[in-house]
Amino acid sequence: MKNRKPMHIGIIPDGNRRWAEQHKLSREAGYAYGLKPGLLLLQQAKTYGIQEITYYGFTVDNCRRPKEQVQAFQQACVQAVHDLATEGVDLLVIGNTDSKCFPEELKKYTKRTAINGGGIRLNFLVNYGWKWDLSNIKSAGFLHSSDISRIDLVIRWGGMRRLSGFLPVQSVYADFYVEEKLWPDYEKSDFYRAMDWYKKQDVTYGG
């Protein structure tokens, strides 16, 4: 389909620590270099006509990393949310707020909030865990992430070919595109290359 366009894209911005090591920096220093790419990609997505975008911040499992790294990606996620919100978005931060790993500054965004006039639906996964997400079905009858729609395309930077627990229900029929480049090396062409690839994929949804 020549004009096929994803309405909702998921972003897995991997490779920050490897990028830091390649540039002779400490592992935790890499997270700050992923902030500018995140904002640039959001701006491109809005111009392209994407209606919803979800960024993978960090997981419950990531909190087992060394203290310095945990603090670094927590701070990076807080700054990323603040930077992205300057664009005019309908923001939702999703993750386990009962854990000490969830940044206090982001708790006010755990219900969808229109910022700077609202706009594209922006979801940010912070201290997210797929088991935690699904556990709410048993107690409440719906996902913790129930306000996030089905994902059409997941894009992962850094060359790894796995979802790493990224919204398993919403991603069930998503196309999965892998960019070998590490996330801090993001370029505008990465986005358009993924969009062109998506146009060429066959759609059957099991039919």
What are the pLDDT digits (tens) for 151-189?
999 999 999 999 999 999 999 999 999 999 999 999 999
Read off the pTM.
Answer: 0.93
Any alpha helices (H) in 23-129, and if so which ranges?
A: 35-48, 67-85
* 184 touches 15 (CB < 8 A): yes
Question: For the segment 72-82, what is each residue's pLDDT rounded down to a tens digit?
Answer: 889 999 999 99
DSSP lists the bridge partners of residue 43 as none
In this prediction, the residues of the chain whose per-residue pLDDT falls under 50 are none
Q: How far apart are CA 204 and CA 55, in angstroms?
A: 26
Give whole-number Cα distances, 102 to 36, 74, 108, 129, 178, in Å.
Answer: 22, 8, 12, 12, 28
Please report how many Cα atoms fall inside a 13 Å half-sphere around the Cα of residue 158, on the Cβ side: 19
